[in-house]
A and B are shown apart, each in its own frame.
Chain A
Amino acid sequence: MKSQARKLVIAVAAGCASIAAVALVRGKAGGRRAGKLRVERGLTALRLVARGGARYASNAPRLFASAGEHRQQLRNDLALQTAEDVAATLGTMKGVLMKLGQMASYVDNGLTPAARRTLSRLQDSVPPMSPELAARVVTEELGLPPEQAFATWDPVPIAAASIGQVHRAITLDGRAVAVKVQYPGIAETIEADLGNVGLLRRMLKITAPSQDVDALLAELRERITEELDYRAEARNQQLFAGYYRGHPTIHIPEIIEELSTRRLVTSDLADGARFAELAGWSQAERDLAAETIYRFVFRSLYEMHAFNGDPHPGNYLFGGGGRVTFLDFGLVKHFTDDELRPLVEMVKHLCVENDPEAFRRAMVDAGFLMPDTPLPTDMIVEHMALFYDTVRERGSRTMTGEYASAVSRRFFDFRSPLAAYAAIPRSYVILQRINLGLFALLAELSATADWRCIAEEIWPFVQAPPCTPMGAAEATWLAGRRDLAQARRAVP
């Protein structure tokens, strides 16, 4: 049965190639300049298909979405054909559980093995939409069937997203795009299920027994609700794409606004190697990829005051030379100046000014520590320092699995005397992904860098000159951005 499904996928992939070829011919019909552009895009698409075909067939990977990680094969034979099918598969708490599982990965170590298994199997259990059902959503959203809204539309999804799936298409003006289509009715279902707070609290107690359930629940409900409206995701992605436009190594696919709605996100189609493929790359390449990810996370946080809460291996595509494409902006947290300030203060006092008492005050300001905690400051600093270990001193350091697990053990060390006086304020819940996700990811790459040195470039209170070639390239880009901004201001 499995091999039959595989054959089907291969056949479908072959079908895609001819679609792309048609696009190519169409593109040529345009004006000369536009034609060239179109041909190039068509070629990109064709190359993608040719390369992708084999890959889709062999490991069923996706271009998008972390949740799809679990769905090793898209069961098109079990495709959901109606909104009722969607409700039966993802209703009655299952969609919520799935999202919860995806997000509770910020409290990963708090998940019991049984809970983790349940959530991952649940993701396996969701088949894609049938081509007809996906087309119906597109029609409802754009007012035109996909064959008319796009120059070409690949009816077979290339990737699973947690509450939708991704189709390839070529726009009427010749752009190769990825279109994420949301399951019909899923937003309503999940909203209704999120209303059952009693059950959610009980489940969270099960899945993450060590957490402050109410803070976590409030945060998760807000994030999930936000994720149901793809317009928020499109806005966020466009914000990041705009900020990083022209960056030497960070690439974010541009959103096509007129083709993005509440249940559709259309962005440029991206290509690259998947995280798993990096294992076969040289350590130098892996170090560069890690440096880009590191710069992206902290520059976004300190400069954009935004954090993409899903630093998940499935959300990156790698291009060599440190080039990384960042996908999926469904879970972005924006920080106000007031929220960010104490975090900056903490880093500054601990790592730069070496002022433990000021560090402690900043922790209290942020709400991480109760004001009257009857514990000596050096004990608190000693507990917290591990989280800052990679940036406290200069020098080359390799991220190791030991360090990543020490961080997560420390994080979940509720027997520590500090535990009784510590808390994670709701707005910082998502930042746990830095401690629990980013470090683990960099460790998986065995990445070596002078993290402190890179951090100094980015820290707003230091803004040191570049200390790596990538930093130098980034500085040039930053200068160009400033010039551009000035030029824009100069134009009346």
Chain B
Amino acid sequence: MTEPKGRDMTEPKGRLKGAPEASGETEREKNTALVERSAAAYASAVPDQPQDDGFFGPASVTWRVTGDLSAPIAGLRSLLIQALHPLAMAGVDQHSDWRLDPVGRLAATSGYEATVTYGDRASATRVAERVRTIHTRVRGVDTVTGQPYAAGDPALLLWVHAALVDSALAASALFGTPLTDADADAYVREMTIAAELLGVPHEIIPASVAGLGRYLAGVRPELRCTPAAAESMGYLLDQIGLEEDIAELWQDIRDAVIATLPDWAREMYGYPAPAPVTAERRTEIRQALGVLDAVFLAEPGVLEARQRLALRMRSAGSKAG
């Protein structure tokens, strides 16, 4: 997944288009099929016969949030936020194969999140262990700040975690089913385990919305949009591998992601201020998300996976109620 590529250390950054080196048919194939590959990762992450309810369980807020219609926006927003930390971005840029196989990289990430969320404890622990092993090899020096980094550094892992949790809250508040304050706190609290699985000490992980806000504000001075961030995120928002027909929907999704960004992040990337999200605009975005979701649902195994989850959530709900 993350073969070290030393050459990247010395190569100039700031290419505006992804995957400039390899080209031709295979590259084209790799760059499409985002939906297919994410769907396959999702379907296999949702267990058929789980040994237990995993680290969250069917009654958790996390299951609800992860299955929300706004989830694709949350996912994209979290990548945009994560990329603004120069050391986190350097780790991805210098060690991952995102340029060669950006779609594969994205699908693998979403598959990881799905396994940690919905898998039983053994599966979640197993994939987390695998990522931790990979992280031990991911170290280097960031060419922008000149600072050394290591992917296993709890501070970096916490940043990645916090960006994800914050993004799920932001996306669901704007375009999904908004959470009550209590549920939002519960979500942040529940999600601490995801960071712990990757090696972040429990005591430094924010466990409430307020704590999360304080943490994010504290990291702000370290953030900037490096050339690698601009390049990779430009690729993500502009030309991620979608079939032409779905690509038409992408404009709405892209606009929605930018609308969920905090002003400071948007300004770092230099995106123009989005139009305010009126009730009508929110509806339009949700309709586009609905179509995207329908396309996702049509992939093999997705409907069955959703039904497995729905049944478990329903039976957990009836027990609780």
Q: In the complex, are the beta carbons of A78 and B287 less than 8 A apart?
A: no
Binds A, one of B4-12, B124-132, B149-157, B242-250: B242-250
Residue B297 interfacial (CB < 8 Å): yes
Residues of B within 8 A of A206 (CB): 245-246, 248
Chain A: interface secondary structure?
A: helix
- Contact: B294 with A122, CB < 8 Å? yes
Q: In the bound complex, do residue B290 and residue A92 qualify as a contact, i.e. CB atoms below 8 Å apart?
A: yes
Residue of A at shortest CB range from B308? A1
One digit per residue, 1 when the CB lies within 8 angstroms of any chain B CB and 0 when it does not, for chain A 188-202 equals 000011001011001
Chain B's closest residue to A203 (CB) is B291
Q: Which residue of B245, B249, B252, B287 is within 8 Å of A92 (Cβ)?
A: B287
Q: Is A139's beta carbon under 8 Å from chain B?
A: no
Task: Report B-chain residues with C-beta under 8 Å of the C-beta of A112.
Answer: 245
Q: Mark A109-126, 1 if CB is under 8 A from B, else 0.
A: 000101101101110110
A75-B307, A92-B69, A206-B248 known; A121-B287 Cβ under 8 A: no
Number of B interface residues in the complex (CB < 8 A): 26
- Which of B246, B249, B252, B303 lies in contact with A121, CB distance below 8 A? B303
Given contacts A112-B245, A192-B283, contact A121 B290 (CB under 8 A): no
Q: Is A170 an interface residue (CB 8 A)?
A: no
In the bound complex, do residue B284 and residue A196 qualify as a contact, i.e. CB atoms below 8 Å apart? Answer: yes
**Is B283 a contact of A93 with CB atoms below 8 Å?**
no
Task: Report whether A93 and B294 are in contact in the complex, using a CB–CB cutoff of 8 Å.
Answer: yes
Contacts of B248 in A (CB 8 A): 202, 205-206
- B53 near A: Cβ within 8 Å? no
Q: Confirm or deny: B311 has a beta carbon within 8 angstroms of a beta carbon on chain A.
A: yes
Which partner residue on chain B sits nearest A122 by CB separation?
Answer: B294
Q: Is the CB of A125 within 8 A of B286?
A: no
Judged by a CB distance under 8 angstroms, whether B289 is at the interface is yes
Contact check, A78 vs B290: say whether CB atoms are below 8 A apart. Answer: no
Name the residue of chain B whose CB is nearest to the CB of A202.
B248
**Contact present for A92 and B289 (CB under 8 Å):** yes
Q: Which residues in A have their C-beta under 8 angstroms from that of B249?
A: 199, 202
Interface string of B290-319 (1 = CB under 8 A from A): 110111011000010011001100100000
Cα-based distance from A91 to B54 in the complex (angstroms): 30
Q: CA–CA, A202 to B314, complex, Å? A: 35
* Per-residue interface assignment for chain B, residues 236 to 279, with 1 indicating a CB less than 8 Å from any chain A CB and 0 otherwise: 00000001011011001000000000000000000000000000
Q: Are B290 and A91 in contact (CB under 8 A)?
A: yes
**Cβ of A202: which chain B residues have Cβ within 8 Å of it?**
248-249
Does A77 lie at the interface of the complex (its beta carbon under 8 Å from any beta carbon of B)?
Answer: yes
Q: How far is the CB of B318 from chain A (nearest CB, A)?
A: 10
List residues of B whose CB falls within 8 A of some A CB: 69, 243, 245-246, 248-249, 252, 283-284, 286-291, 293-295, 297-298, 303, 306-307, 310-311, 314
Interface residues of chain A, those whose CB is within 8 Å of chain B, are 75, 77-78, 91-94, 97, 112, 114-115, 117-118, 120-122, 124-125, 192-193, 196, 198-199, 202-203, 205-206
What are 27 inter-chain pairs, A to B, with CB distance below 8 A? Answer: A78-B311, A92-B287, A92-B293, A93-B287, A93-B291, A93-B294, A94-B293, A94-B294, A97-B290, A97-B291, A97-B294, A114-B245, A114-B295, A115-B245, A117-B298, A118-B294, A118-B295, A120-B298, A121-B303, A122-B294, A193-B287, A196-B283, A196-B284, A199-B252, A199-B288, A202-B249, A206-B245
Of all A-B residue pairs in the complex, the 4 with the closest CB atoms, nearest first, are A92-B290, A118-B298, A93-B290, A206-B245
